């Protein structure tokens, strides 16, 4: 997969005749808290060296960044699509956008946090592009994911079921709860990623939980997902 990303980036360079100097607009430069990104000072220093090498025209610098952070980005994009092919396309889009935005990274926060901000927006844009009928789980799919016994839902089943329920919510509500439940993001971190206010995130989270609870109640799933509050 790394080779595919590198080939895409090289193709873009060949087409535009430019590298990261053509930064994409629209990505704020604030960062999530290092505690949520697995921040490591040695890794951070390696990232800074590779970013500088890339900005100086060394393609191998970005290749090393891809290799170092591909797993984390792929894990995040899996929250936006459980289709392997689509997930890989989303990961590619994240790294292409990050490449052309490198000049906007100032180095005063962990690179993975900056990268995950881009990834979150790529995933959110993907959701908004999908037609609701194609993006959400059907009631039949939800029924199929539920064990017939009331207390036999293992963590993997619960996660899959919750993913299906969340897909039936509007995109902003779905994003807030996905980041909270699956990525353990605080309201402040979500606000930073999306350039929303904390008040807006809190309000959306509160409304989204009510919608999710109502949906779970309608489908008779409150006992199985009793931890949703």
Q: Is the pLDDT of residue 163 over 90?
A: no
Only one residue has tokens 């290749």, namely 63
Q: Is CATH 1.10.10.410 the classification given to domain 2-19+37-129?
A: no
For the chain, domain boundaries = 2-19+37-129, 133-218
Q: What is the chain's percent helix, strand, coil content, to nearest 5?
A: 65, 0, 35
- Of 36 and 107, which is predicted with more confidence? 107
pLDDT of residue 23: 34
- Of 16 and 103, which is predicted with more confidence? 103
pLDDT band, very low/low/confident/very high, at 225 (cuts 50, 70, 90) = low
- Of 173 and 229, which is predicted with more confidence? 173
Spatial contact of 76 and 119, defined as CB atoms under 8 Å apart: yes
The class that CATH gives domain 133-218 is: mainly alpha
pLDDT digits (tens, 9 = 90+) for 77-98: 999 998 999 999 999 999 999 9
pTM for the whole thing?
A: 0.73
């Amino acid at each position: 997969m790394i080779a595919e990303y590198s080939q895409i980036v090289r193709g873009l360079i060949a087409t535009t005749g430019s590298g990261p100097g053509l930064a994409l607009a629209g990505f704020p430069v604030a960062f999530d808290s290092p505690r949520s990104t697995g921040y490591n000072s040695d890794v951070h220093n390696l990232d800074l060296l590779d970013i500088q090498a890339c900005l100086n025209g060394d393609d191998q610098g970005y290749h090393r960044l891809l290799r170092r952070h591909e797993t984390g980005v792929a894990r995040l994009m899996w929250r936006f699509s459980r289709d392997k092919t689509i997930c890989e396309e989303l990961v590619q889009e994240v790294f292409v956008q990050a490449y052309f935005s490198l000049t906007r990274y100032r180095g005063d926060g962990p690179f993975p946090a900056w990268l995950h901000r881009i990834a979150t927006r790529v995933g959110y844009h993907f959701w908004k592009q999908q037609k609701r009928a194609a993006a959400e789980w059907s009631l039949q799919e939800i029924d199929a994911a539920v064990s017939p016994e009331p207390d036999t839902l293992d963590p993997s089943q619960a996660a899959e079921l919750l993913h299906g329920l969340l897909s039936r919510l509007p995109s902003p509500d779905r994003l807030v709860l996905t980041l909270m439940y699956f990525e353990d993001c605080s309201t402040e971190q979500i606000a930073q990623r999306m350039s929303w206010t904390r008040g807006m995130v809190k309000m959306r989270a509160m409304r989204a939980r009510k919608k999710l609870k109502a949906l779970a109640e309608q489908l008779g799933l409150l006992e199985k997902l009793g931890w949703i509050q």
